[in-house]
Chains A and B, each alone.
Chain A
Amino acid sequence: MTQNEIVTGVLVDEVTLTLEEAAQACGVEPQWIVERVEAGFLGDGSVQMTYWRFASHDLTRARRMRQLESAFDAVPELAALVVDLQEEVARLRRRLGSV
């Protein structure tokens, strides 16, 4: 059976995620996120805990880090480094585009 619906979503960067929502979206406990923010691997580390909000970039980074830590037993420092490199590769590949 095919069900059709028209749905309107919200942009995560316009309505950012709370700590709990970001944790739920990544399938981790909030403390997992807190530890990586405090270590400077996610977010900018400059905001107070009660105001922590997470945008698309944080969500992508957090999910990639979780995948690396889970699949490769990577320590958070190594996972963050790999994600940094993935982002740099993507940036350079975009620059290598047609224009």
Chain B
Amino acid sequence: MEFRDYYQILGVAKTATADEVKKAYRRLARKYHPDVSKEPEAEKHMKEVNEANAVLSDPEKRAAYDQLGSRYRAGQEFQPPPDWDAGFEFSGRGPSPTDDADFSDFFANLFGHTGRARHGADDFRMRGQDRHAKILIDLADTYHGATRTITLHVPQADEHGRVGVREHSLHVQIPKGVKEGQHIRLSGQGSPGLGGSPAGDLFLEVQFAPDARYRIEGRDVFQTLPVTPWEAALGASIEAPTPSGAVQVKVPGGSQNGRRLRLKGRGIPGASPGDLYLVLDVVLPPADSDKARELYATMARELDFDPRGKVRG
């Protein structure tokens, strides 16, 4: 595990005041915010900045980190000594409201156990903190249900008090019909409780993996369906691949590009299942042979067709 220089990440001096830390964080949060940033690897930088801020903006954590960090440089191999944080009391309120499960091993090693029983405080009881993470699934997973594996880095103290990070793999059942943005609550999979109190819960926020074939709005799914010009013009019964399997659909004659065919109830499953919309994409055959060029030339001669009539006004 490498030592992380949180001051370097935020671009502030070790003597920076709380106000300077706050200003640096705000500047970088704007620079790397995934919604607006054009910087490469903005999301990765944002996580680092969030993590650095979670430590340096918290006086208790910063004091403990400073005591430890004076002997290390960024990237240097690092293992926290036993009881490195003796004498510091963490509030146990959680590192930050961001997705703390995404923080680095380094952070988990140092602060993931915040709130654990301190020396002489064995009778202290407190429920463990809830943790948050995102889980990426495919659209097909919500149609059929699935099991996905996530790996969490969990701090754990050995019998000598040395804190290490344990990889904790969870095979999570993805319920059929889950929507983007919904949370799956895993009881007791959050931070451990103190003094025999129960562990917190783990909340997994569901996100769909990007898939250029689909657009999803709530439970409705939109999918492009390529068709030939004659299928669109004359009508046809064609096989369409959908997230729930291939279906036979009737393309009405006289269809234009962009026409939506609604397949009721074939969206994301649920008590009120969504609909699947097949958006027709009329694909022209290439004019790459004498025969194809002749057919296009015949249409040009024989059809009285002016697609720009309406835009001329």
Contacts and interface: CB of A to CB of B under 8 A. Distances in A.
Nearest to B211: A98
A57 to B, nearest CB: 7
B212 interface: yes
Contact of A13 (B167, B182, B202, B205): B182
Contacts of B179: 13
Nearest to B208: A94
A7 interface: yes
B183 to A, nearest CB: 4
B171 A5 contact: yes
A56 interface: yes
A71 B201 contact: no
A41 B26 CA distance: 23
Given A1-B167, A3-B169, A95-B215, A26 B97 contact: yes
B109 interface: no
B150 to A, nearest CB: 10
Nearest to A4: B169
Interface in B125-147: 127, 129-130, 132, 147
B107 interface: no
Interface in A44-99: 56-57, 59-60, 63, 66-67, 70-73, 86, 89-90, 94-95, 97-99
Nearest to A89: B35
A89 B139 CA distance: 21
Of B171, B187, B203, B212, the most chain A CB neighbours within 10 A belong to B203
Contacts, number: 115
B53 interface: yes
B172 A70 contact: no
Interface string A1-32: 11111111111110100000000111100000
Nearest to A8: B173
Contact of B171 (A4, A67, A95): A4
Interface stretch (B67-75, B216-224, B233-241, B244-252): B216-224
Nearest to A14: B175
Contacts of B130: 24-25, 27
A71 B26 contact: yes
A14 B185 CA distance: 11
A2 B165 CA distance: 11
B25 A71 contact: yes
Interface in B59-114: 93-94, 96-98
A73 B29 CA distance: 14
Interface string B1-38: 00000000000000000000010011001000001000
Given A3-B168, A7-B170, A67-B97, A25 B203 contact: yes
A15 B201 CA distance: 14
B204 interface: yes
A45 to B, nearest CB: 21
A71 B130 CA distance: 20
Contacts of A27: 93-94, 97, 129-130
A12 B183 contact: yes
Top 3 closest A-B pairs, CB basis? A9-B184, A97-B215, A12-B183
Given A24-B200, A67-B97, 6 more contacts: A3-B167, A27-B130, A66-B97, A90-B35, A97-B222, A99-B224
18 contacts: A2-B168, A5-B170, A6-B147, A7-B170, A7-B189, A11-B184, A12-B183, A13-B182, A27-B94, A60-B205, A63-B132, A70-B96, A70-B97, A71-B53, A89-B35, A94-B215, A97-B222, A98-B212
